[in-house]
Amino acid sequence: MANTLSFSVPILLTALLCMTVTCFNEDQSVLLQFKAHITSNPLNVWPYNWSSATSVCHWTGISCGINGRVTALNLPNMNLYGTILPSLGKLSLLSVLNMSGNSFHGHLPSELANLQRLELMDLSHNELSGGIPPWFGNLTKLQYLSLYGNNFTGSISPYLFNMINLETMDFSHNFLQGSLPHEIGNLPKLKILRLRYNKLSNPIPAAIYNVSSLEVADFMFNNFSGSISRNIGNLTKLREIYVAQTDIGGEIPREIGNLSNLQIFDGRNASLTGHIPASIFDISSLRYILLGRNNLSGTLPIDICSNQSRLEALYLAQNQLNGEIPSGLGGCRKLQNLDFSINRFSGQIPRSIGNLTGLKELYLGDNELKGGIPWEVGNILNLEVLDIGEIGLTGPVPPVLFNISTLKTINLPNNSLSGSLPWDICLHLTSLERIDFYRNELTGSVPKSIGNCTFLQFIDLGKNHLSGEIPEEIGNLQHLSHLSMGGNNLTGSIPSKIFNMSTIELIALQLNKLSGHLPSSSEYKLPKLSVISLAQNRLSGKLPSCITNASTLKALEIGHNSFSGFLPSSFGNNLRLLEWLSLQFNNLSLEYSGPEHSFLSSLMNCRILRHLSIESTTYGGVLPASIGNLSASLQYFYAESSQLKGNIPMEIGNLSRLIALFLANNDLVGPIPSLGRLQRLEGLGLYGNKLQGSIPNDLCELKMPYDLSLHSNLLDGSLPACFDNLTSLRYLSLGSNKLSSNIPSTLWRLSNMLQVDLSSNFFSGPLPLDVGNLKVVISMDISRNRLSGNLPSTINGDLNGLTYLSFAENALQGHIPESFGQLTSLEFLDLSRNNISGVIPKSMEALSHLKYLNVSFNRLEGQIPTGGPFRNLSAELFEWNKALCGVPQLQVPPCKDSSHHGPKVSVLVLKCIFPAIAAILLVTLVIILVRRHKWKGNKQNRETPLPLATWRRISYHQLRVATDGFSESSLIGAGNFGSVYKGTLSDAVTVAVKVFNLHIDGAFRSFDSECEVMQSIRHRNLVKIISSCSNEDFKALILEFMPNGSLEKWLYSRTSTLNILQRLDIMIDVASALEHLHHGLQTPVIHCDLKPENVLLDGDMVAHVSDFGIAKLLGEAETMKQTMTMATIGYMAPGDPFLLKLKMNIGIFSYIFQHHFE
- pLDDT the model gives residue 1044: 87
Positive or negative: CA dihedral 1061, 1067, 1070, 1071: negative
pLDDT at 253: 97
Question: Same domain, yes or no, for 516 and 573?
Answer: no
Domain membership flag for residue 637: yes
On whether residue 162 sits in a domain, the answer given is: yes
User: Residue 610: what pLDDT?
Assistant: 96
Residue of higher predicted confidence among 339 and 933: 339
Asked if the structure places residue 681 within a domain, the reply is no
Taking residues 797-824, report their average pLDDT: 93
Could you list the residues known to form a binding site for ATP, using ranges: 994
Question: Model confidence over 97-109: pLDDT tens digits?
Answer: 999 999 999 999 9
Strand order in the sheet with 515-516: 515-516, 538-541, 562-567, 587-590
Last residue of a domain, one of 1041, 1067, 1097: 1041
Please report the pLDDT score of residue 603 as a whole number: 92
* CATH code of residue 71: 3.80.10.10
pLDDT (0 to 100) of residue 1149: 43
Rg of the chain, C-alpha, whole Å: 48
How many residues comprise the chain?
A: 1158
Q: Which of 266, 298, 330 delimits the end of a domain?
A: 298
The verdict on residue 623 lying in a domain is yes
Query: 802: phi > 0 → left, psi -120 to 50 → alpha, else beta; which?
Result: beta
Q: What is the distance, to the nearest Å, from the Cα of residue 998 to the centroid of all Cα atoms in its chain? A: 41
What residues contact residue 15 under an 8 Å CB cut-off, 6+ apart?
none
**Which residues define the annotated binding site?**
994
CA distances from 137 to 97, 151, 162, 177, 1004 (A): 16, 20, 5, 19, 104
The pLDDT confidence band at residue 549, using thresholds 50, 70 and 90, is: confident
Alpha helices in 550-683 (DSSP H): 599-602
Mean pLDDT computed over every residue of the chain: 87
Q: Output the CA–CA distances (angstroms, integers) from residue 114 to 19, 67, 701, in the order listed.
A: 19, 20, 70
Whole-Å CA distances, 833 to 858, 872, 878, 999:
6, 21, 11, 11
Residue 423 shares a structural domain with residue 532? yes
Domain assignment present for residue 996? The answer is yes
1020 touches 1009 (CB < 8 A): no
pLDDT at 947 over 60: no
Provide the pLDDT confidence category of residue 923 given band limits of 50, 70 and 90: low
Inter-CA distances, 712 with 245, 388, 695, 810, Å: 57, 51, 13, 19
Phi/psi of residue 314, each to 5°? -125, 105
Over the stretch 964-986, which tens digit does the pLDDT of each residue have?
888 888 888 777 778 889 998 87
Q: What's the angle, vertex CA 397, arms to CA 393 and CA 403, rounded to 5?
A: 135
| 1067 shares a domain with 928 | yes
Q: Give the model's pLDDT for residue 385.
A: 98
1156/1033 same-domain check:
no
**Residue 688: strand, helix, or coil:** coil
In whole angstroms, give the CA distance from residue 778 to residue 792.
17
Report the distance separating Cα 271 and Cα 94, nearest Å: 45
Mean pLDDT computed over 335-344: 97
Residues annotated as catalytic are 1089
The residues that bridge with 217 in the sheet, in sequence order, are 193, 241
Q: Looking at the structure, tell me whether residues 940 and 974 fall in a common domain.
A: no
If asked whether residues 613 and 466 sit together in one domain, one would say no
**Whether the predicted pLDDT of 1122 surpasses 70:** no
Residue 946: predicted pLDDT: 37
Residue 379, in any domain of the structure: no
Regarding whether 1051 and 1104 lie in a shared domain, the answer is yes
pLDDT surpasses 90 at 909 = no
The Cα–Cα gap between 1050 and 1030 comes to 33
Residues 157-203 pLDDT 10s: 999 999 999 999 999 999 999 999 999 999 999 999 999 999 999 99
What is the separation of C-alpha 348 from the centre of its chain, rounded to a whole number of angstroms?
35
Measure the CA dihedral 992/998/1004/1007, to 10°.
Answer: 0
* Chain center to CA of 650: 27
**CA-based nearest residue to 339, from 315, 373, 359, 319:** 315
All residues at 6 or more sequence positions from 1141 whose CB lies less than 8 Å from its CB, including other chains: 1119, 1120
What tens digit of pLDDT does each residue of 975-1027 get?
A: 777 888 999 887 888 888 988 887 776 677 777 777 766 666 778 888 888 88
pLDDT at 223: 97
Element containing residue 602 per DSSP (H, E): helix 599-602
pLDDT at 954: 81
Q: pLDDT-based confidence at 1141, cuts 50/70/90?
A: very low
Per-residue confidence (pLDDT) for residue 1111, from 0 to 100: 53
413 lies in some domain: no
**Do 573 and 510 have their domain in common?**
no
Question: With 90 as the cut, is the pLDDT of residue 1050 above it?
Answer: no
Assign residue 1142 the CATH number of its domain. Answer: 1.10.510.10
Instruction: Supply the pLDDT for residue 1085.
Output: 78
Please say if the pLDDT value at position 1130 is more than 50: no
Residue 727 is assigned to a structural domain of this protein: no
Strands 223-225 and 313-315: unpaired
- The pLDDT confidence band at residue 1121, using thresholds 50, 70 and 90, is very low
CA–CA separation, 1063 vs 1058, rounded Å?
6
| pLDDT tens figures, 815-859 | 999 999 999 999 999 999 999 999 999 999 999 999 999 999 999
1007 or 762: which carries more pLDDT confidence?
762
| CATH code, 1036 | 3.30.200.20
Confidence of residue 962 (pLDDT cuts 50, 70, 90): confident
Q: Write out the residue range of the structural domain in which residue 56 sits.
A: 19-96
524/902: higher pLDDT: 524
Kindly report the backbone phi and psi dihedral angles of residue 967, in degrees, each rounded to the nearest multiple of 5, phi listed first: -75, 165
Residue 7 burial class via C-beta count within 10 angstroms: exposed 0-12, middle 13-18, buried 19 and up:
exposed
Domain shared by 952 and 1014, yes or no: yes
Is 252 within 8 Å of 272 (Cβ atoms)? yes
Could you say which of 492, 524, 558 is where a domain stops?
A: 558
Q: What is the pTM of this model?
A: 0.70
Provide the number of structural domains found in the chain.
6
**212 and 79 within one domain:** no
Q: Is 283's pLDDT higher than 50?
A: yes
User: pLDDT (tens digit, 9 = 90+) per residue, 461-516?
Assistant: 999 999 999 999 999 999 999 999 999 999 999 999 999 999 999 999 999 999 99
Same domain flag for 1030 and 1110: no
Residue 596: what pLDDT?
Answer: 81
Percent share of the chain, pLDDT over 90? 66
**990 lies in the same domain as 927:** no
What whole-number distance in Å separates Cα of residue 133 and Cα of residue 599?
A: 64
